[in-house]
Amino acid sequence: MIETADLSLEEQRSSQRATILRVYNYYRILLSFLFLFLFLDPNFQRFVGSVNPELFQTTIVLYIGFNVLIGLTTLFISVEFLSKTAPSWLILVGDIVCLTLLMSASGGVSSGLANFLIFTLAFGGGLIHGRVSTVLPAIAFILTIYDEFYLFFLDENTLRSFFQAGILGIVYFAANILFQTLSRQLRSRETEVRTLEQINQLIIERMRVGVVVIADGKQPRLINHAAERMLQNPIDNLSPKEQLPEILLKKLIEWKQNPSPEVAKFSVFETGPDLLASFSLLNKPSSESDTLVFIEDSTVVQKQAQQFKLASLGRLSASIAHEIRNPLGAISHAAQLLGESMDLTKGDQRLSEIIQNHTVRMNGVIENVLQMSSRQIAEPRNIVLHEWMEKFLDEFSAGIPDKLSIETEFLSEPISINIDPLHLSQVLGNLYQNGLRYSAKNTGEQKLKIVCGIESNSGHAYLEVIDYGTGVDADLVGNLFEPFYTTESTGTGLGLYLSKELCEANGARLSYSKAVTGGSCFKITFLA
């Protein structure tokens, strides 16, 4: 990760140097043609090329050719290559030499052409870093002093020109060092910003909460791995990076029409997990504002709520054990002794039986509540579903003396799931007992059908327990997994609720549907 970040940072610096070199190339070409225009204009000939017109003409033609050649070279060679230290240094030295010759042909520092060297050395401080860059003003200063000595011996300047050359030398070094310092500070800031950007990207990418930035109302500008995984629809081959699910875009439009802090619940496909989305605008509210979307898997939220629920249930069960169970035992014992009395009429004996039956029923409710509160956190492990099911069927059938008929339908290839085997056996034991009871009521036979497979759209393994009863009325399905809800006088109403809680604790989902047999189909979808 660090090597990748360093490489990316070096590429960015190279790109910045290439940008500086492009700007400098434009400057050099314009400057060379400006000198040519001034040389050809009679009104300016006393300023440029006045001392040695032939040298000025030859130099300016070579300088223009040199600049045009470099400009054409960028069409075939990457500017990033030319912006490296060695090529840039040669280009800058060539410019210094050419500008010094033009200055010499125009009368030295008094012509004012030496000022253009300041810009060249400033660009050099931005393009080249370190001691190599400081050599450039040294070369410019030496050539300027040499040029002044040459012109002094030709009687073309005075001793005052040497003082001007010395001042220019100081300016050369100051301009180069100043731009080196500014460039170094910019690189330091750039490194900090780049590091923070890398940290932010790493944090967002490893977040368990999905993060999506939607631009123009529908296009994802940024999407992390968690969001991509949750929004992936196995039915189509499109990645969420290419196209977001229509249901999410619909929720976004609804939120923009009526912004609220409430989360939107949706599912990417029919049998997929329920997702929770919250929206927020990144800029000022407008039709083109980017939207930040946080996406959470509701199963994760449910697991967290499950822990709080179990903690509260544990405290409740402790109160039940002390405050209800002991008096209930006393009532049951007293009713039993009363029923053994020889002085009771048949009506009183019946009342005694009713008391005993209901105390037994209430004791069963307490036992179930205690079982829920005292069960440990799930300890899932990998099991092969059809092998484990065969063992469970043998153990379950051995515990029931009556004749059973359980039909199984498994895939030929093995299915591996990650679940706590003890919890799965508790869930299936409850579903089997309910299914056999309702099948016997409707058909007179204790029979079930067990189907294990893999969903084609999501790829999740599933297990179906199908009975041959009359099924559940449509108006009662909504309360099916509610605690203490039952349609029988002898039931506690905690069996299906406990089964659903155990499934959710293991990252699975228990659902109900009407079976083709006319009875009930309870489906366990293994999401983990």
pLDDT digits (tens, 9 = 90+) for 452-480: 998 877 788 999 999 998 888 888 887 78
Helices (H), 321-420: 326-339, 346-374, 385-398
More confident of the two residues 81 and 264: 264
Number of domains in the chain: 4
Residue range 235-262, pLDDT digits in tens: 666 677 777 888 888 888 888 888 877 7
Q: How distant, in Å, are the alpha carbons of 21, 165, 180, 184 from that of 124?
A: 9, 20, 8, 13
| Per-residue pLDDT tens over the stretch 469-508 | 888 888 888 778 877 667 665 555 677 888 888 888 888 8
Q: Are 216 and 329 within one domain?
A: no
pLDDT for 3 equals 38
Q: Which distant-in-sequence residues (6+ apart) come within 8 Å of 165 by Cβ?
A: 108, 109, 114, 141, 144, 145, 148
Does position 316 have pLDDT exceeding 80, yes or no?
A: no
Q: Quote the domain boundaries for residue 233.
A: 208-299
- Rounded to an integer, the average pLDDT of 387-415 is 82
Same domain, 251 and 181: no
Mean per-residue pLDDT, 269-294? 75
Q: Which of 25-39, 297-311, 442-456 has the lowest mean pLDDT?
A: 297-311
Long-range contacts of 397-401 (CB under 8 A, 24+ apart): 400/436, 400/446
Question: Do residue 20 and residue 124 come from a single domain?
Answer: yes
Q: Say what the pTM is.
A: 0.45
**In a shared domain, residues 343 and 445:** no
pLDDT(7) > 50: no
426: phi then psi, degrees, rounded to nearest 5: -65, -45
Q: Using an 8 Å Cβ cutoff, are 488 and 499 in contact?
A: no
Q: Pick from 349, 374, 399: which residue ends a domain? A: 374
CATH code of the domain in which 385 resides? 3.30.565.10
3-state secondary structure of 510: strand
On whether both 222 and 359 belong to a single domain, the answer is no
* Residue 375 pLDDT level (bands cut at 50, 70, 90): low
* Closest among 222, 231, 190, 229 to 204, alpha carbons compared: 222
Encode pLDDT of 133-161 as tens digits.
888 889 989 998 988 888 888 887 778 88
Residue type, 336: Q
Contact 104, 113 (CB under 8 A): no
Last residue of a domain, one of 202, 231, 249: 202
Residue 464 confidence (pLDDT):
93
Identify the weakest region by mean pLDDT among 369-378, 379-388, 398-407, 493-502.
Answer: 369-378
Amino acid at position 513, single letter: S
Predicted local distance difference test score (pLDDT) of residue 2: 36
∠ CA 438-439-440, nearest 5°, is: 90
Q: Do 255 and 277 have their domain in common?
A: yes
Q: What is the mean pLDDT of residues 284-302?
A: 73
Domain boundary among 267, 284, 299: 299
pLDDT of residue 302: 65
366 and 392 housed in the same domain: no
